[in-house]
Chain A
Amino acid sequence: MNTKPVILVVDDESQIRRLLELTLQGSGFDVRLASTGNEGVIMAASERPELIILDLGLPDMDGREVLKKIREWSSVPVLILSVRNGETDIVSCLDAGADDYLVKPFRTGELLARARTALRHRLTKEEKEVFTNRILSVDLSARTVKRSNELIKLTATEYALLALFVRNAGRVLTHKFILEQIWGPAHAEEAQYTRVYVGSLRKKIEKDPANPKIILTESGIGYRLSVED
């Protein structure tokens, strides 16, 4: 029985496919390759991968279309590959159910880290209730937030925001997603809310709020709770 996790790579560039294949195989993954969106959709069903790496610029159909089709039946994690300056596309994919993204050219180390995070989320389906790193420890079931082992007080909104990050640790969260989750769909466009509250949250939990290490900013896309220590 093959226990290696299966990763499906959908990219039309054979060089990128080859690079991803080598990199992922070298790290113990079983890699399947598709070079068109159509093939990607078919293989997403037939190969039952545990992760899909999907390029947005495909010749036969828009990467977003591929994502939409796959999401009709599957909640397999999808990692989007996009070129620089494609923030709008990335955000719309994330909002349409993609799990993470990488910008080309990417570093292979980064790729593997993202792939592992996505897979971890796949494995631990239930949302995380606890988060700890060197500075911060959060326990959602006990509703406690400790910084360097000292309890800190957060406002209701700050806590809700932190809890959202903890439940989605390591994943990129778009501004829209955060706004909808915390302030409701009516406020989905008011991005300044997240800026203000992330700012005040950082002041309370980060060692150096000017140089945040826990809640990271993803340029033009949103925020991510770092899972690296």
Chain B
Amino acid sequence: MTNEQTRPDPDALLNLLQKEEEKEKKGKLKIFFGMCAGVGKTYDMLKDAHAAKSKGVDVVVGYIETHKRPETEALLSGLSIFPRKTIQYKGTTLEEMDLDAILARKPELVLVDELAHTNAPESRHTKRYQDVRELLDNGINVFTTLNVQHLESRADTVAQITGSIVHETVPDSVFAAADEVEVIDISPEELLKRLEEGKVYTPERSKRAIENFFREGNLTALREMSLRLTAERVDRQLRDYMAKQRISGPWKSGQRLVVGISPSLRSISVIRWARRLAYTMDASWLVVCVESSSALNQNEKDQLSKNIKLAKELGAETLTTSDDDVAGALIRVARRQNATQILVGKPIRGLFSQSSHLIDELLAKSGDLDIYIVGQEGDTERAGSRRFFPQIQSILPQYAIASVIVLVVALACFPVTRFLGYQTVSFIILLTVSLMPLRFGPGPVLVAAGLGALAWDFLFIPPIFTFSVGRIEDVLMLGMYFTVAIVTGVLSARVRAREKAVRQREEKTSALFTLTRDLSSAHSQDEVIKAAVANIKKFFNADVVVVLGDADGEIASSPHTASSMKPDAKEYGVAAWSYWNEKHAGKYTDTLPSAEATYFPMSGPRYPLGVIGVKLTQKLTSDQENLLENFIAQISSAVERELLSEISTKSIIVAESERLYKTLFNSVSHELRTPVATIMGASENILHDLSHGSLPTNEEYAKEIHLAAERLNRLVANLLDMTRLESGMIQPKLDWHDVRDVINSALKGLDKELSGHAVTVNVQDDMPLVKFDYGLIEQAITNLVHNATVHSPEGTEIEVNATHTERECIIVVSDSGPGLSNEELQKVFEKFYRAPTAKTGGTGLGLPIAKGFVEAHHGTISAKNRLTGGAEFSIRIPVDPEPGKPKQEHI
């Protein structure tokens, strides 16, 4: 393990520090802990108190219950005892610890017996441990006593064991927070001796106690329980210590890293850096790309998808969001994802470089988030090469910059007019203006055009330094200049608007496409909902809750589990309103707009299917609203589709089970009754023989009973398997297994049946691990082999061969019996089909079960006759690529 990995978890450390800091000011708590009353807790506590007193500690007794035990009472002498407070309650006088008096006196150490005690009514606190807490909070150290049965987490079990219910309990946190716990441990025998000697209770009470609570068995259990609890405490303390001392252990930092990337080559190094950081921090990391409104060129698009792919390969989650405010978007994502750090590449500083902005903004807005700025290697790109003009965010600077550019160009041309001629200058200015729509809106372009015209007129058209135009061609020229500039401005603005519209439409189409694809590949209602939630979340960047209607048309009482947020009762009311009225409701609508989310009903044929709540952060544009409506419509129809298919599946299942039921009655009742009859008959004979004083005449009866029971057992197992299959409850638990292993297990289970046959097993040498459900495939092989034993004469050979190809694993069971007739070949896998020649005792279920189990693995099973005679059954299971093997080592 490397050093980075042994870094203490910051949260754990903080906790520890807080714990210690609290303790600095607070008094220390020592608990004398025992398995039950009478072990000597109070006695030991008093002895400790005397020891402390002899060291000069100011000790007082807050409350001690001596139970009139002479040894204990003797120890009280010499300690100053606080008088108890008396409380009159319903005619009786109750005595309690005088908390206020102790607080006023403020001794160093107070003894308080029986921590679990419940105070008299009308006391300040209901429980004594609350009194103790107050003492500790005031810096007073406390010694106290506690029995294991009074710990909240153990009270239940103790009540069960001892039969006496414990009313007075102390939260486990009090026990855990104690600075010291001393276990007062004596053996049950010794305790019982003390009881009998009357050292704990009065003789009469002792007798009752020994009969009830203090049974030896109980005491052992209680003792063991108290020792274990203390051991656990020590364990926890050790962990705390390890955290503090940086002793390596399993740290979980719970850190999350958000990495901002751009469509640039440089981001690759950022991603790699982030991976290293995430790895050393043991943090999960999320790579975020923020797309701004400006379109990307093809190269950039390619680079971006490469970057995202790389991030995914390196184990990051990825997310693309669109926002012109990159810093804001990164921070938003980081907060939403509970990230603790943001990592971005170091910007290439340039005059108009946007990224330098980014860093400043990140730093300004990030609050408690840590920001990492990473140097970027391999910078082969020139900074800002994409942008001929820097992109300008807000509109006002756009006007200013456009004007400045035109004026600068005009002024720059001024000294060279002599060589160019002033007409040429007008083209230069025109060129400048016509390039502007690439970066600026129509407004700034027009202003720049006007300014350009004025500047040209003023500076270049003779007479210069006046706005008057002397020659007619110059007037024409100026007019044409204006027209061209305006047309350029307007046209390019229009092109940009169209481009934007196309892009939005493209996004919309692709969003809808993704949704439809996900929805149509969903195979159950749950999957549909999951896909719906994921898609809405992705495209609208909002939390989603889905509440479905139940079978009776009522709204379900809890949201679907795939929902990404949990509505409270009020929100639920809004959802219900939307459901019943089949109208939008909630935020940004006219109905119940104070809700947190907006609710969209999903309409169905008879009653509403459900309602989808979306927690939008801002009002949607009409386009987005349109898209969301489309989403809801698509989701509704998918939910409806699944609902209908579930209904039809259910009816198929009902029909199938009816058929099974009938066949069961007709064919299986016979199979069930035969062994039962044998068992009853044979056992009756044995009983009869016994009652007539004779020993059972022979052991044949017992053997018959055993055989019949085995037959019955096999039948019951088959019926159960069949029922599982028929009910669709088979869900293979896939894991990697050794094929040899599963064949062996199957054969071992058939020991007896195989005694008359020779069995050979051949498994291809390089057989890899194969993914399957061990139990199911074992049963399938068992059934095939059992079938072979039934259908081939004794003394013949049964072969089990396993081979594999790249795609599948093939297990073949073959026998040397008479083989299968044409009819048998066709019907052998049908339920309850019995070959006319079969021995009795079969159920006609073995092969269909094997088929069902194999098909549950998406495999196939087939039967054919061998060329050499005999039947051959093959199981084919599709093979996944083998899993990562543990690292190979050398001897």
Q: Which residues of A contact B (CB under 8 A)?
A: 38, 41-42, 44-48, 69, 72-74, 84-85, 87-88, 105, 153-157, 183, 185, 190-193, 195-199, 209-212, 217, 219-220
Contact status B717-A84, CB under 8 Å: yes
Q: What is the minimal beta-carbon distance from B730 to any residue of chain A, in angstroms? A: 10
Q: Is the C-beta of B340 less than 8 angstroms from some C-beta in chain A?
A: no
Q: Is the C-beta of B735 less than 8 angstroms from some C-beta in chain A?
A: yes
Contact status B890-A157, CB under 8 Å: no
Of A47, A69, A155, the residue contacting B160 (CB under 8 A) is: A69
Contact status B225-A72, CB under 8 Å: yes
Of B154, B162, B745, B882, the residue contacting A219 (CB under 8 A) is: B745
Known: A45-B220, A72-B154. 11 other contacts (CB 8 A): A41-B157, A41-B161, A45-B221, A46-B161, A156-B889, A192-B735, A196-B769, A210-B744, A210-B761, A212-B744, A217-B744
Q: What is the minimal beta-carbon distance from A35 to any residue of chain B, in angstroms? A: 15
Of A44, A47, A196, A210, the residue contacting B740 (CB under 8 A) is: A210
Q: How far is the CA of A190 from the CA of B744 in the complex (A)?
A: 23
Q: Known: A41-B160, A219-B778. Is A153-B891 also a contact (CB below 8 A)?
A: yes
- Can you sample 24 A-B contacts with CB below 8 Å? A41-B161, A42-B161, A45-B218, A46-B215, A47-B217, A69-B157, A72-B157, A73-B221, A73-B222, A85-B724, A87-B775, A105-B713, A155-B890, A156-B889, A190-B886, A192-B883, A192-B886, A197-B886, A199-B738, A210-B740, A210-B761, A210-B763, A219-B745, A219-B778
Contact status B161-A192, CB under 8 Å: no
Q: How far is the CA of A89 from the CA of B738 in the complex (A)?
A: 23
Q: How far is the CA of A197 from the CA of B886 in the complex (A)?
A: 9
Closest to B218 in A: A45
Q: Known: A192-B736, A195-B736. Is A73-B224 also a contact (CB below 8 A)?
A: yes
Q: How far is the CA of A226 from the CA of B882 in the complex (A)?
A: 29
Q: What is the minimal beta-carbon distance from A205 to any residue of chain B, in angstroms? A: 14
Contact status B228-A72, CB under 8 Å: yes
Q: How far is the CA of A199 from the CA of B739 in the complex (A)?
A: 11
Contact status A191-B735, CB under 8 Å: yes
- Residues 558-617 of B contacting A (Cβ, < 8 Å): none
Q: Is the C-beta of B250 less than 8 angstroms from some C-beta in chain A?
A: yes
Contact status A219-B775, CB under 8 Å: yes
Q: Known: A72-B154, A84-B720. Is A192-B224 also a contact (CB below 8 A)?
A: no
Contact status A48-B885, CB under 8 Å: no
Contact status A45-B745, CB under 8 Å: no
Closest to B250 in A: A185
Q: Is the C-beta of B85 less than 8 angstroms from some C-beta in chain A?
A: no
Q: Is the C-beta of B774 less than 8 angstroms from some C-beta in chain A?
A: yes
Contact status B886-A183, CB under 8 Å: yes
Q: What is the minimal beta-carbon distance from A113 to any residue of chain B, in angstroms? A: 15
Q: How far is the CA of A183 from the CA of B885 in the complex (A)?
A: 13
Name the 3 nearest CB pairs between A and B, nearest first: A46-B217, A45-B221, A192-B736
Q: Known: A41-B161, A47-B217, A217-B745. Is A191-B717 also a contact (CB below 8 A)?
A: no
Which residues does chain A contribute within 8 Å of B160, judged by CB atoms?
Answer: 38, 41-42, 69
Q: What is the minimal beta-carbon distance from A62 to any residue of chain B, in angstroms? A: 14
Which residues does chain A contribute within 8 Å of B890, judged by CB atoms?
Answer: 155
Which residues does chain A contribute within 8 Å of B302, judged by CB atoms?
Answer: none
Which residues does chain B contribute within 8 Å of A199, judged by CB atoms?
Answer: 738
**Among A46, A73, A153, residue most surrounded by chain B Cβ atoms (within 10 Å):** A73
Q: How far is the CA of A17 from the CA of B349 in the complex (A)?
A: 83
Q: Is the C-beta of B100 less than 8 angstroms from some C-beta in chain A?
A: no
Closest to A38 in B: B160
Closest to A211 in B: B744
Q: Known: A155-B890, A212-B744, A219-B745. Is A196-B885 also a contact (CB below 8 A)?
A: yes
Closest to A41 in B: B160
Q: How far is the CA of A105 from the CA of B717 in the complex (A)?
A: 10
Q: Is the C-beta of B538 less than 8 angstroms from some C-beta in chain A?
A: no
Q: How far is the CA of A84 from the CA of B720 in the complex (A)?
A: 10
Contact status B161-A45, CB under 8 Å: yes
Q: What is the minimal beta-carbon distance from A22 to any residue of chain B, in angstroms? A: 15
Q: Is the C-beta of B741 less than 8 angstroms from some C-beta in chain A?
A: yes
Q: Is the C-beta of B332 less than 8 angstroms from some C-beta in chain A?
A: no
- Residues 673-727 of B contacting A (Cβ, < 8 Å): 709, 713, 717, 720, 724
Closest to B775 in A: A220
Closest to A47 in B: B217
Q: How far is the CA of A38 from the CA of B161 in the complex (A)?
A: 8
Q: Known: A45-B220, A73-B221. Is A195-B744 also a contact (CB below 8 A)?
A: no
Q: What is the minimal beta-carbon distance from B850 to any residue of chain A, in angstroms? A: 16
Which residues does chain A contribute within 8 Å of B724, judged by CB atoms?
Answer: 85
Which residues does chain B contribute within 8 Å of A220, judged by CB atoms?
Answer: 733, 773-775
Q: Known: A155-B891, A196-B886, A211-B744. Is A85-B775 also a contact (CB below 8 A)?
A: yes
Q: How far is the CA of A190 from the CA of B652 in the complex (A)?
A: 38
Q: Known: A185-B250, A210-B740. Is A195-B769 also a contact (CB below 8 A)?
A: yes
Which residues does chain A contribute within 8 Å of B717, judged by CB atoms?
Answer: 84
Which residues does chain A contribute within 8 Å of B154, judged by CB atoms?
Answer: 72
Q: How far is the CA of A182 from the CA of B8 in the complex (A)?
A: 24
Which residues does chain B contribute within 8 Å of A192, judged by CB atoms?
Answer: 735-736, 769, 882-886
Q: How far is the CA of A197 from the CA of B228 in the complex (A)?
A: 35
Q: How far is the CA of A140 from the CA of B736 in the complex (A)?
A: 30
Q: How far is the CA of A210 from the CA of B889 in the complex (A)?
A: 23
Which residues does chain A contribute within 8 Å of B741, judged by CB atoms?
Answer: 195, 217
Q: How far is the CA of A87 from the CA of B778 in the complex (A)?
A: 13
Contact status A191-B736, CB under 8 Å: yes
Q: Is the C-beta of B246 less than 8 angstroms from some C-beta in chain A?
A: no
Q: How far is the CA of A100 from the CA of B222 in the complex (A)?
A: 25
Q: Is the C-beta of B659 less than 8 angstroms from some C-beta in chain A?
A: no
Q: Is the C-beta of B125 less than 8 angstroms from some C-beta in chain A?
A: no
Q: Is the C-beta of B737 less than 8 angstroms from some C-beta in chain A?
A: yes
Which residues does chain B contribute within 8 Å of A155, judged by CB atoms?
Answer: 889-891
Q: What is the minimal beta-carbon distance from B881 to any residue of chain A, in angstroms? A: 12
Q: How far is the CA of A38 from the CA of B884 in the complex (A)?
A: 46
Q: How far is the CA of A163 from the CA of B96 in the complex (A)?
A: 60
Q: Is the C-beta of B163 less than 8 angstroms from some C-beta in chain A?
A: yes
Q: How far is the CA of A45 from the CA of B890 in the complex (A)?
A: 50
Q: What is the minimal beta-carbon distance from B34 to any residue of chain A, in angstroms? A: 14
**Among A48, A84, A153, A217, residue most surrounded by chain B Cβ atoms (within 10 Å):** A217
Q: How far is the CA of A219 from the CA of B221 in the complex (A)?
A: 35
Chain B 197-239, CB within 8 Å of chain A: the 1/0 string? 0000000000000000001111011101100100000000000
Which residues does chain A contribute within 8 Å of B740, judged by CB atoms?
Answer: 209-210
Q: How far is the CA of A121 from the CA of B429 in the complex (A)?
A: 97
Which residues does chain A contribute within 8 Å of B218, judged by CB atoms?
Answer: 45-46
Closest to A71 in B: B228
Closest to A75 in B: B224
Closest to B882 in A: A192
Which residues does chain A contribute within 8 Å of B763, judged by CB atoms?
Answer: 210
Q: How far is the CA of A192 from the CA of B885 in the complex (A)?
A: 7
Chain B 773-811, CB within 8 Å of chain A: the 1/0 string? 111001000000000000000000000000000000000
Contact status A157-B891, CB under 8 Å: no
Which residues does chain B contribute within 8 Å of A73, judged by CB atoms?
Answer: 157, 221-222, 224-225, 228
Q: What is the minimal beta-carbon distance from B774 to any residue of chain A, in angstroms? A: 5
Closest to B740 in A: A210
Which residues does chain B contribute within 8 Å of A41, judged by CB atoms?
Answer: 157, 160-161
Which residues does chain B contribute within 8 Å of A190, judged by CB atoms?
Answer: 883-884, 886
Of A87, A157, A193, the residue contacting B889 (CB under 8 A) is: A157
Closest to B888 in A: A155
**Among B717, B775, B778, residue most surrounded by chain A Cβ atoms (within 10 Å):** B775
Q: How far is the CA of A220 from the CA of B763 in the complex (A)?
A: 21
Q: Known: A69-B157, A210-B744. Is A42-B774 also a contact (CB below 8 A)?
A: no
